[in-house]
Structure 1
Amino acid sequence: MKLIYITCNASMLEPVTSLIDEMEFADYQVIEKVTSKSRSSQPRQNTAIWPGYNSAVFIQEDDAGKAAALFAEIDRLNAGAFNSNEQLSAFMWEAEKSAGR
């Protein structure tokens, strides 16, 4: 099973979840307000100094091809981003074990 973690500016959460639904991923969780620091953008700490926040999505997927197709779509979204603040970061790794499925 692949585990996929996507993080993005909160303004990009709706396009991300729409993409996930269009691609028919069945198992995912959304955390809407995530404070963060990243090398690729300004910190988002939801404070007066560093306003805003990110959102995070966790996806569990058995089909490696479907997971790879998601990354191709993320690359497409990033290529069309207005600026680096709208770009998504995504990571994928293999789950060694799962329970409750």
Structure 2
Amino acid sequence: MKFIYITCNVSMLETVTSLLDEEEITDYQVMEQVTAKSNYSLPRLNTAVWPGYNSSVFIQESDKNKVSSLIETINRMNRSAFNNGERIALFSWDILACTESENGK
């Protein structure tokens, strides 16, 4: 199973969640207002000097094909992004242990 962390400009959140729906990824959580500094773009600290904020999505996915497809699609989207502010950062870790859900996932 993989744990995937995605962070992006709040303007890209709908694009990301639509992509998750298309990939049939159902186990995720969204944090809509996240202040951030990253090498993708200027800081977004929701201040007068650094306005705006990011959104973050936390995903748990056991299907390797879905994970690969998601990463490939986001890489493709980043290559065609109009500017760095539209780029999406994705990071993935292996989950070594987790609690079991009722449906056995």
Normalised to the residue count of structure 1, the TM-score between the two structures is 0.96
For 2:15 and 2:3, the matched residues in 1 are separated by: 20
What's the CA shift string for 1:15-71, capped at 9, x where partnerless? Answer: 000000111101000000000011221110000000000000011001112101100
Q: After TM superposition, list the pairs within 5 Å mapping 1:42-81 onto structure 2.
A: 42-81=42-81
Residue number in structure 2 paired with 1:87 = 87
Paired AA for residue 23 in structure 1: E
Structure 2: unaligned runs, 5 residues or longer: none
For 1:40 and 1:92, the matched residues in 2 are separated by: 17
- Runs of 4 or more, structure 1, over 4 Å off, are none
- RMSD (CA atoms): 0.8
Paired AA for residue 58 in structure 2: F
For 2:61 and 2:93, the matched residues in 1 are separated by: 11
For 2:24 and 2:39, the matched residues in 1 are separated by: 31
Structure 1: unaligned runs, 5 residues or longer: none
For 1:75 and 1:45, the matched residues in 2 are separated by: 25
Paired AA for residue 57 in structure 1: V
Residue number in structure 1 paired with 2:32 = 32
Residue number in structure 1 paired with 2:5 = 5
Is it true that 1:99 corresponds to 2:96 in the alignment?
A: no
